[in-house]
Chains A and B, each alone.
Chain A
Amino acid sequence: MPAVLRKAAFFAILLLFWQGACSLQFCPDYLLPAPWQVVASLAQGWREGTLLYGLLISLKRMGIGFGLAVLLGGALGLLVGRSGPLAQAGRSLLMGLQSFPSICWFPFAIILLGLQEGAIIFVAVMGAVFSAAIATRDGIGNLPRNLTGAALTLGARGWRLYTAVKLPAALPGIITGLKQSWSFTWRSLMGGELLFGNLGLGHLLMQARDLGDMPRVLGVMLTILLVGMIIEQGLFARLERAVQRRWGLESN
């Protein structure tokens, strides 16, 4: 059976279980709505335009947040990738900050930037910037010694050693790291939107909770899940594979 069919069968079985649980009426349908109720709620949200609007707002924030995190994280990673005691201290701080829950930056961001768009994006950036920095540093730090040796003895110098050799050489590793950074951005952003509902999917989720509208809660949750799966598996995994193939790293 091809992989696509196997996946489809798996999800179909999952749906069946869900429907089965509803049909047996373990609990009332305002606590456990049937699949078709969730789909109907999603369709309604789609017709009203709220779902699409929320989705677009969240995607925009995610794009800005992730873009900034990659730029800042990349620069930070290059900085702490250098040798010397300062860079070493920087690395240990980076490791610490990576495990720091990004949503805890929210109060800081609100005081600093005000209760608005900027604060939410700030939290999203903070969720990913350190892991992006670590991905860059690790990617560049673990290059085969001969690769940089060859570049140096062919006359590569200074910043061109980074742009022409180290970054491209490290790209497969960096992309794998960025895939993780992206999921951190997405999580942090949803956290921020839940706490401070100002449009976006997180806000829709909280609205649905206020209304006690379980089908809608589940519908928005499904949407968030789907966005994550599409971006991670449709975008990053593909990019990762393409780069690995091009770099000749494909493992069969």
Chain B
Amino acid sequence: MERVLSAEASSAAYPAPLRTGEAPGQAAEGRRPWRSVVGRQGKAEAPEKLALRGIVKSFPHRRGRLVALEEINLSVREGEFICLVGPSGCGKSTLLRLIAGLEKPDAGEISINGQAVDGPGAERAMVFQENALFPWLTVLGNVEFGLAMQGMGKRVRRARAMEYLAMVHLAPFAHHYVHELSGGMRQLAAIARALAVNPAVLLMDEPFASLDAQIREMLNAELLRLWAETGKTVLFVTHSVQEAVRLADRVVVMTYRPGRIRAIIELDLPRPREEGDPGVVRTRLAIGRHLREEVTRALQEERNHAGRT
């Protein structure tokens, strides 16, 4: 598995299907207001927002160490939507936590706008899968939280939080407590809370993984709308190929232990991406093939391991 499938190799292997699709900006102008924004012209030339160079991370494990991530290099442009996929245990969530500053890499550098980051901060706000909203605060209080931490005055931050709540259509629930909301609404509130601090990069760790398929699809569409409205750079971890293909500009497929980048697949497909669209189907199959190999390997290794102990 020695970098046979680097990013270049993979796009060479699947060039035709992945490069097709309508040219940006060409599709159905005006029908959906965000469409024209989605195909953001010249994204390829947009400045680098986030850079990962030579990231290595290991954890203590039994008597030795388990290498979770090995030599991760990735450059993310401003306004890009990146999805990280891989089998469970591939370290994709760990990578996100490293970028967030919640954990420190053993080696390598993470930089935002060319500046190395050290420790967590609001310029890399993160949305978690669950249990991350503050239950003792109202929805509004939650969205205000990050602004309060910046020392923003009560009136200003309240107004700003309400704007973001309106953006995710949760304004009527501003004074509800978290446990009074449905799972999908909670995740929208968490997204509003993260966007309110105006982060340079929005990190999302399987934010919709515990929701049912219909809700997830709706929230995917909501997220794309918010992304288009705010122009944020997004890193989104998911184990669903379908979700990744629905959302991403580029999908990063990771290998199972140690986690490396197996392939980076560009999706030059117009949004919204219909499930049956030939380009979407081909891309999904291509990513699925990568992922299946890794999952098979993961299963084998786990089985071997179980056999030894």
Contacts and interface: CB of A to CB of B under 8 A. Distances in A.
A31 interface: no
Contacts of B197: 154-155
Interface in B138-166: 145-146, 148-150
B95 interface: no
Interface string A228-252: 0000000000000000001111000
B128 A150 contact: yes
A118 to B, nearest CB: 37
Contacts of B131: 144, 146-147
B149 A146 contact: no
Given A149-B126, A160-B149, A247 B132 contact: no
A154 B146 contact: yes
Nearest to A144: B131
Nearest to B193: A154
A78 interface: no
B177 A248 contact: yes
B2 to A, nearest CB: 34
A62 to B, nearest CB: 28
Contacts of A156: 145, 149
Interface stretch (A16-24, A92-100, A162-170, A212-220): A162-170
A145 B141 CA distance: 20
A98 to B, nearest CB: 28
Contact of A153 (B126, B129, B134, B177): B126
A135 B108 CA distance: 40
Looking at chain A's contact residues, the main secondary structure is: helix
Interface string B75-105: 0000000000000000000000100111000
Contact of B136 (A144, A149, A152, A247): A247
Contacts of A60: none
Interface in A145-185: 146-147, 149-157, 160, 164-165, 168-169, 171
B152 to A, nearest CB: 11
Given A248-B178, A248-B179, A152 B134 contact: no
A155 B121 contact: yes
Contacts of A164: 145, 148-149
B236 to A, nearest CB: 15
B135 A248 contact: yes
A237 to B, nearest CB: 19
A83 to B, nearest CB: 14
Contacts of B194: 153-154
Contacts of B100: 149, 152-153
A152 B135 contact: no
Q: Which of B120, B126, B130, B197 has the most CB of A within 10 A?
A: B120
A146 B130 contact: yes
Interface of A: 144, 146-147, 149-157, 160, 164-165, 168-169, 171, 246-249
8 A-B pairs with the lowest CB-CB distances in the bound complex, closest first:
A248-B179, A155-B122, A154-B146, A152-B120, A150-B132, A146-B132, A155-B149, A146-B128
Interface of B: 97, 100-102, 120-122, 124-126, 128-136, 145-146, 148-150, 177-180, 190, 193-194, 197, 203
